[in-house]
């Protein structure tokens, strides 16, 4: 399994500030949902999980809907920012283009793009309708992925690799992912990916499935009564 938080791709990154006039509104919408993810433990950093590495990251498309595959630019949280309780525009990068097969990303911004940027890119390449990707780590949801019949990527496909990108597009084409807008990353412990046309839509999908997982967990116990 690829360790959490380690950049697997080659980043051609230009370190410069992001124009607040252009990105503030999108970043704020994303930060609001990331805040909810942090409060529910879907994003964060915990010494007892994944060897202490931060987990979870979020992105939103920028630029025109008609952009071609490999050029669907997106604003994404920076590498090593998952553990920060709150973030601002300085903790983001814009991935301008990417090449999953060559394991390459071209980006700019004050932060380096998330180590899982190529998994986000694969979801954007799956369809121009996808405008937001939230990557959460949820033990309760991931462990019940089969009971909840979530689409699941091949466990042999490590996160951020070309194999993972092709798994994401396969599940989208087979419509299980496009309809449910959620999948479990089989080879990435606790990894969940949700998509939406907006951050609000993706956030709503994530919270609904989280509630379903807790409902399942409740049914696993002998009694529904609080312990």
# residues near Zn ion by CB under 5 A:
1
Q: How far is the CB of 183 from Zn ion (least distance, A)?
A: 13
Cβ within 8 Å of residue 219, ≥6 positions away = none
Q: How far is the CB of 159 from Zn ion (least distance, A)?
A: 6
C-beta closer to Zn ion: residue 8 or 178 = 8
Q: Could you tell me the sign of the dihedral formed by the alpha carbons of 180, 213, 153, 76, in that order?
A: positive
- Cα–Cα distance, 188 to 209 (Å, whole number): 18
| 148 dihedral zone (left: phi>0; alpha: psi -120 to 50; beta) | alpha
C-beta closer to Zn ion: residue 4 or 18 = 4
DSSP string, 77-95: EBTT-TT-SS--GGGEEEE
C-beta closer to Zn ion: residue 23 or 45 = 45
Q: How far is the CB of 89 from Zn ion (least distance, A)?
A: 23
Binding span for Zn ion by CB under 5 A among 71-79, 145-153, 185-193, 196-204: 185-193
The burial of 25, by beta-carbon neighbours within 10 Å (0-12 exposed, 13-18 middle, 19 or more buried), is given as exposed
Q: How far is the CB of 72 from Zn ion (least distance, A)?
A: 20
- Cα–Cα distance, 118 to 137 (Å, whole number): 17
Q: How far is the CB of 125 from Zn ion (least distance, A)?
A: 19
Lay out the site mask for Zn ion across 186-205 (x = CB under 5 A, - = otherwise).
-----x--------------
Lay out the site mask for Zn ion across 134-173 (x = CB under 5 A, - = otherwise).
----------------------------------------
C-beta closer to Zn ion: residue 186 or 191 = 191
- Cα–Cα distance, 184 to 203 (Å, whole number): 16
C-beta closer to Zn ion: residue 18 or 152 = 152
C-beta closer to Zn ion: residue 18 or 77 = 77
Q: How far is the CB of 160 from Zn ion (least distance, A)?
A: 9
What stretch of H or E contains 170? helix 162-173
Distances (CA, A) of 176 to 18, 107, 166: 36, 31, 15
Chain positions contacting Zn ion, by CB under 5 A: 191
């Amino acid at each position: 399994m690829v360790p959490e938080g380690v950049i697997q791709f080659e980043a051609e990154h230009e370190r410069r500030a992001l124009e607040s006039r252009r990105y503030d509104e999108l970043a704020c919408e994303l930060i609001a949902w990331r805040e909810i993810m942090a409060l529910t433990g879907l994003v964060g950093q915990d010494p007892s999980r994944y060897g202490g590495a931060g987990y979870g990251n979020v992105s939103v498309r920028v630029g025109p809907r008609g952009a071609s595959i490999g050029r669907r630019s997106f604003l994404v949280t920076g590498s090593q920012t998952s553990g920060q309780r709150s973030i601002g525009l300085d903790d983001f990068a814009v991935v301008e283009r990417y090449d999953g097969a060559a394991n390459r990303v071209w980006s700019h911004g004050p932060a380096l793009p998330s180590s899982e940027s190529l998994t986000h890119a694969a979801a954007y390449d799956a369809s121009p309708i996808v405008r937001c990707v939230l990557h959460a780590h949820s033990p309760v949801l991931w462990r019940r992925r089969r009971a909840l019949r979530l689409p699941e990527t091949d466990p042999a496909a490590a996160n951020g690799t070309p194999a993972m990108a092709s798994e994401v597009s396969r599940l989208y084409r087979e419509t299980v992912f496009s309809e449910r807008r959620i999948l479990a990353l089989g080879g990435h412990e606790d990894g969940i990916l949700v998509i939406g046309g907006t951050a609000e839509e993706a956030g709503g999908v994530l919270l609904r499935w989280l509630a379903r997982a807790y409902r399942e967990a409740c049914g696993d116990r002998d009694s529904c009564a609080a312990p």
